[in-house]
Structure 1
Amino acid sequence: MRRLGLAAGWLIGLLAAGLVGFGIAARLSPKPASVVFRRRFDRNGAERLTATAPFVPGHVVSTLDIPYRAGDPDARLDVHRSTSPGTGLPTIVWVHGGAWLSGSKDLIANYLRVIAGGGCTVVGVGYSISPRATYPTAAFQLLDALAYLTEHADELGVDAQRLVLAGDSAGAQISAQVAGMVTSPAYAASIDAHPRITPDQVVGTVLFCGVFDMSLARGLRGRNRWFVDSVMRSFTGTLDYLDDPRFSGISVVEHLTADFPPTLVSCGNADPALGHTLSLIATLERLGIPHETLLFDADHEPVGHQFQFHLGTAAAQDALAAIQGFVTRLP
């Protein structure tokens, strides 16, 4: 019994030392926390990829890993197209989520194929994740991807004159920011961005479960604030992300103009990011920007973050129908 007690004591001591060591490392660098989050988020993404496979229609073909930025190994995109007769729908350019520090276009590829099955050409854009690459790298990469799509539209089978910028979670923030910069020279200038496409090319945005108003972080406490601070430190390289003017562009709601394109925005009723969606909707309404929403009443069964990927649920099927209906109604 004494040996068991000693062994247990050593084990507890080792665990405690490990936790202390992790805590010290996390204070010194954003990497330890980002590694933990990335593993968990990517595991969830891999499960969603498998779960969406049965919903992929047989008439969709994919061209994968097309380099869109010379010398940048992260700058790859996929093009998913239906082989059925064309319907003249816009091209959706989708940016994956993952708190800016995880995820990939590969993990949402089946979902994008499902959308393409409805008649849209859908492009999945890869970008550099943090902390290896910090803000605003991903926004610059997406701008370059849009320029590449414009230059190679015919060979890729995309309609570069009717682009819908879309995304989920962090990807929704990136897409919304880029749409905002394309339609607002002042917003682009605020981070020294130089869009190479014209505002009339972006005919809409589709934004799921996104982060659009960083002022909401000021009211967070405890574990929620620790999580947001950890993610934002990885994304920006600092814990001063709320007050450093270099990062004001992350809050899309502070920079939109009435020229922002028509938007479909959605979020679950049990999603911690719901406040961001409500802030964005209020901004769209204030500016008179045409928009559609897919929200859920408070007494609806809980609908969580990234609900749209769970295609076996009614909420996800509603989201898919909302996307298809929205892009069909765009000019």
Structure 2
Amino acid sequence: MRRLGLAVGWLLGLVAAGLAGFGIASYVSPRPASVVIRRRFDRNGYERLAATAPFVPGDVISTIDVPYRPGDPDALLDVHRSTAPGPARPTIVWVHGGAWLSGSKDLIANYLRVLAGGGSTVVGIGYSIAPRATYPTPALQVLDALAFLTEHADELGVDARRLVLAGDSAGAQIASQVAGMVASPQYAASIDAHPRITLDQLAGTVLFCGVFDMSLARGLHGRNRWFVDSVMRAFTGTTAYLDDPRFAGISVVEHVTADFPPTLVSCGGADPALGHTLSMIATLDRLGVPHETLLFDGDDPPVGHEFQFLLGTDAGQEALEAVQRFVAELP
């Protein structure tokens, strides 16, 4: 019994030492927390990739890993197109999520193929993730991707005159920031960005489960605050991201203008990011920006984060239909 007690005490001591070591390492560097979060998020991503495979139409072809930014190994894009005849539709350019520090265009490729089955050319954008690359690198890369798509539209089958900038989670933040910078030269200048496409090329935006209002982080506590602080430290390189003016551009709601493109914005009722979507909707309402919403507050079963990828659910199918309808009705 004494030996068992000693063994348990030794094991608990090791666990405590490990947790203390992790805590110290996390304080010194954002990498340990980033690795933990990335592994969990990417595991979910691989599960969604497999789950969406049965929904991919047989008539979709893909061009993979097209470089769009010379010298940048992360700057690759995929183009998915249906070979079935049908009316011409705007091109959807999708920015993947993953809390800015995980995910990839590859993990949502099957979902983008499903979207392409609806008649649009769909482009998946790869970008550099944190903490290797920090803000505003992803937004600048997406701006370059849009310029590349414009320059190579014919060979890629892209309609560069009608682009729908879309994204999920952190990708929705990046997509909305890019759309906001194209619509507002002042916003672009605030991060020394130089869009090379024009506002009339943006037919609309589609934003799922996004992060648009960083002021909401001030009200978080416990695990939720630890998670947001860990992610933002990796993305910005500082724990003072809420008060450092260099990162004011992350809160897209503070920079949206009346020229922002028509928008479809959606979030699950059980999503911790719901407040961000409601803040974006309120901003679009106040400015008179044309928009549609798809919300699920109070639904049973609860609709959580990144629900749109769950095509085997009613909510996932409703989201897919909403995107297809929204894009088809754009001028």
Q: By the TM > 0.5 criterion, same fold?
A: yes
- Show the 5 A alignment for 1:146-225: 146-225=146-225
**Once the 2 structures are TM-superposed, how far is the Cα of residue 8 of structure 1 from its aligned partner?**
2.4
Identify the residue that residue 138 of structure 1 maps to in structure 2: 138
Q: Is the 8 A contact 2:56 2:114 kept in 1?
A: yes
SS in 1 for 2:277: helix
**Once the 2 structures are TM-superposed, how far is the Cα of residue 296 of structure 1 from its aligned partner?**
1.3
Deviations along 1:264-313, one digit per CA (max 9) or x if unpaired, are: 00000000000000000000010000000100132543100000000000
Aligned counterparts of 2:25 and 2:75: Cα–Cα separation in 1: 30
Aligned counterparts of 2:134 and 2:175: Cα–Cα separation in 1: 16
Q: Is the 8 A contact 2:164 2:203 kept in 1?
A: yes
Aligned counterparts of 1:254 and 1:50: Cα–Cα separation in 2: 38
Identify the residue that residue 287 of structure 1 maps to in structure 2: 287
Identify the residue that residue 74 of structure 2 maps to in structure 1: 74
- Show the 5 A alignment for 1:181-330: 181-330=181-330
SS in 2 for 1:301: coil
Aligned counterparts of 2:13 and 2:299: Cα–Cα separation in 1: 46
Task: State TM-score, norm by structure 2.
Answer: 0.99
User: What RMSD, in angstroms, separates the aligned Cα atoms of the two structures?
Assistant: 0.8
| AA partner of residue 195 (structure 1) | P
**Once the 2 structures are TM-superposed, how far is the Cα of residue 3 of structure 1 from its aligned partner?**
3.1
Identify the residue that residue 35 of structure 1 maps to in structure 2: 35
Aligned counterparts of 2:303 and 2:297: Cα–Cα separation in 1: 10
SS in 2 for 1:141: helix
**Once the 2 structures are TM-superposed, how far is the Cα of residue 330 of structure 1 from its aligned partner?**
0.3
| AA partner of residue 129 (structure 2) | I
Q: Is the 8 A contact 2:87 2:119 kept in 1?
A: yes
Aligned counterparts of 1:40 and 1:222: Cα–Cα separation in 2: 19
Q: Is the 8 A contact 2:270 2:297 kept in 1?
A: no
Change (3 A) 1:299 1:92: closer
Structure 1 gap segments, 5+ residues each? none
Identify the residue that residue 90 of structure 1 maps to in structure 2: 90
SS in 2 for 1:193: coil
**Once the 2 structures are TM-superposed, how far is the Cα of residue 171 of structure 1 from its aligned partner?**
0.1
| AA partner of residue 45 (structure 2) | G
Change (3 A) 1:299 1:93: closer
Q: Is the 8 A contact 2:268 2:297 kept in 1?
A: no
Aligned counterparts of 1:307 and 1:165: Cα–Cα separation in 2: 19
What percent identity do the matched residue pairs reach?
82
Deviations along 1:46-87, one digit per CA (max 9) or x if unpaired, are: 000000000000000000000000010000000000001142
Structure 2 gap segments, 5+ residues each? none
| AA partner of residue 44 (structure 1) | N
| AA partner of residue 41 (structure 2) | F
SS in 2 for 1:259: coil
Aligned counterparts of 1:326 and 1:191: Cα–Cα separation in 2: 31
**Once the 2 structures are TM-superposed, how far is the Cα of residue 7 of structure 1 from its aligned partner?**
2.5
Aligned counterparts of 2:87 and 2:140: Cα–Cα separation in 1: 31
Change (3 A) 1:151 1:184: same
| AA partner of residue 97 (structure 2) | G
Deviations along 1:239-267, one digit per CA (max 9) or x if unpaired, are: 11111000000000000111000000000
| AA partner of residue 96 (structure 2) | H
Aligned counterparts of 1:47 and 1:298: Cα–Cα separation in 2: 26
Identify the residue that residue 118 of structure 2 maps to in structure 1: 118
Aligned counterparts of 2:4 and 2:28: Cα–Cα separation in 1: 36
Task: State TM-score, norm by structure 1.
Answer: 0.99
**Once the 2 structures are TM-superposed, how far is the Cα of residue 13 of structure 1 from its aligned partner?**
1.2
| AA partner of residue 204 (structure 2) | G
Aligned counterparts of 1:101 and 1:116: Cα–Cα separation in 2: 26
Aligned counterparts of 2:280 and 2:37: Cα–Cα separation in 1: 26
| AA partner of residue 66 (structure 2) | I
